[in-house]
Amino acid sequence: MSEYEPTETLDVKGLSCPMPVVKTRGAVDDLSSGEILEVVSTDSGSMSDLKGWADTTDGVSMLDQEESDEGGEALFVHYIQKE
């Protein structure tokens, strides 16, 4: 598990591109500066999609991305901080 303590967790399991990015953008908008959003996805494409979005969006930083397994299902967890 990550050392980050998220302020909010966004569950986008079962959604595929572009919905994880769309939902993440909306959730980040609701955060205050310095808060961390944890995004949990089952879409392997979210690793590159969310990284690309964070890299090209002012005011957000991708802190970390992790891949894990939960009951045989691959999970992709992203930690995004609002600046």
pLDDT tens-digit map of 9-41: 999 999 999 999 999 999 999 999 999 999 999
Q: Where are the domains of the chain?
A: 8-82
C-alpha distances in Å from residue 24, one per residue of 16, 33, 71, 72, 77:
12, 15, 24, 25, 12
Per the residue annotation, which of 8, 13, 17, 59 is the catalytic one?
17
The CATH number, out of the four listed (3.30.110.40, 1.20.1740.10, 3.60.150.10, 3.40.640.10), of the domain defined by the range 8-82: 3.30.110.40
Average predicted confidence (pLDDT) for the chain: 95
Question: Which residues are registered as beta bridge partners of 60?
Answer: 82
13 catalytic per annotation: no
pLDDT of residue 3: 86
pLDDT of residue 70: 83
Are 38 and 8 spatial neighbours (Cβ–Cβ below 8 Å)? Answer: yes
In tens, the pLDDT along 37-70 reads 999 999 999 999 999 999 999 999 999 999 998 8
